[in-house]
Structure 1
Amino acid sequence: MAPDDRRRMIVRAVLPLVVEHGRAVTSAQIARAAGIGEGTIFRVFQDKDQLVDACVVAALDPAEALEMIGEIPAELPLEKRLAEAAEALRAHLQRIGAVMAATMKGGQRAEELRNRRAPTGDSRRESFEAMQRAVRELFVPDAERLRLPVDKAASLFLSLLFTHSRPVPGTPTTDEMIDVFLHGSVRK
């Protein structure tokens, strides 16, 4: 297996362990989860911190969610397309939150990460723009029905979804949010 492929395979296998154990995950746990020997880990990663950092980077990458959104059939009703997109993006946001929370708990490495410069605005903007493009395509088949241009509808939907990703008591369900987004909250 090529080194980059092995790195991706290890990161994918270790992400759930990082969520569960944070930086306290052991190399033995990593090896078992990835189905490899402990020595293989350190032929691919300099140390465990580098592997955990790679897990954080993987968690931030929206590619998997974007792929899922791209596979949503255009012939589904708009409400269903948006619900599927919401679930894909919510899973992505929850994974980010879980990995970040687990890796930032206590310890010297967490303090180091807190003091490190935050990711550039460019990478966050690029990620948001990729999500916006993917969600935009969900609106295109219904563009004639919309009161807003598809770009604005996609941005507004993402904004609602992002605020909806941290539910508090009484937070509407995804279906309720989509219904209000599409039909408003005032009776006709």
Structure 2
Amino acid sequence: MTETPSRRRAPGMSAEDRREMIVAAALPLLVEHGSAVTTLQIAKAAGIGEATVFRAFADKDELLAACLSAALRNDHVLAELDAVPLDQPLAARLTEAAATLHAYLDRMGAVIAALHSGGRRSERRGSADSSATGGRAAAGERTHQALVRLLEPDRAALRLPVEQLAVIFLGILVGRRGGAAETPVETLVDVFLHGVIDPSSAAT
């Protein structure tokens, strides 16, 4: 007789760690299935029983709200931006930053779109939307400061204040998303630094 494999248990796991583990399992499923994803699907992905999900979260809406918060959280992005060496050329610094930020924006956008795909109770939607707005604002400010740091070594050579250029650069990255054929980050950085006019074709 074949024994059924036991579900994964984490006897020493704190309540917060368990919540984070469940959210990590839920995020890719949420992107794939939208808010119609079931708690049973999430439990199976996490290797736990469905009852454990409801011990960690009051209901599915609370779990989805936690997924939204996790998608907005950009601590890992800031760590990657802070790790970009400032002794690299500016173009290399910005290309590395652009790749990191684009991956984050893609994930955040996919989760927000999934949560708005339907199936959530209307009375919770307003609260989650307010959370998303506040979360995006805070994440955006932290990201802006990280970009200022990357631009700072070249402040004297730049036409505009680095604080303003950081806003413009982030705006270019956000605008890049969603197109049928997205522009490579290397091209965006080149246009950001050198403009759209080819010097070889400019009138003398």
The TM-score normalised by the length of structure 1 is 0.86
Deviation, structure 1 residue 178:
0.8
In terms of Rg, which structure is larger? 2
- Tell me which of 130, 133, 141 is aligned to 1:129: 141
8 Å contact kept, 1:65–1:88: yes
Give yes or no for the alignment of 1:20 onto 2:32. yes
Matched ranges for 1:38-49 at <5 A = 38-49=50-61
Matched ranges for 1:57-72 at <5 A = 57-72=69-84
For residue 77 of structure 2, what is the amino acid of its counterpart? A
Q: CA RMSD in A?
A: 2.2
Per-residue CA shift, 1:79-105, capped at 9, x if unaligned? 121112112211121112211222222
Give yes or no for the alignment of 1:182 onto 2:193. yes
Instruction: Provide the rounded CA distance (Å) in 1 between the counterparts of 2:35 and 2:167.
Output: 35
Deviation, structure 1 residue 11:
0.8
Which residue in 2 is equivalent to 1:93? 105
Give yes or no for the alignment of 1:31 onto 2:40. no
Deviation, structure 1 residue 115:
5.0
Per-residue CA shift, 1:128-180, capped at 9, x if unaligned? 211100111111222232222221221111111111123245x5322111101
For residue 50 of structure 1, what is the amino acid of its counterpart? E
Q: Which has the higher helix share?
A: 1
Residues 1:13 and 1:179: Cα distance change in structure 2 (over 3 Å): same
Which residue in 2 is equivalent to 1:106? 118
The TM-score normalised by the length of structure 2 is 0.80
Which residue in 2 is equivalent to 1:78? 90
8 Å contact kept, 1:139–1:150: yes
Instruction: Provide the rounded CA distance (Å) in 1 between the counterparts of 2:58 and 2:134.
Output: 27
Matched residue count = 186
Which residue in 2 is equivalent to 1:6? 18
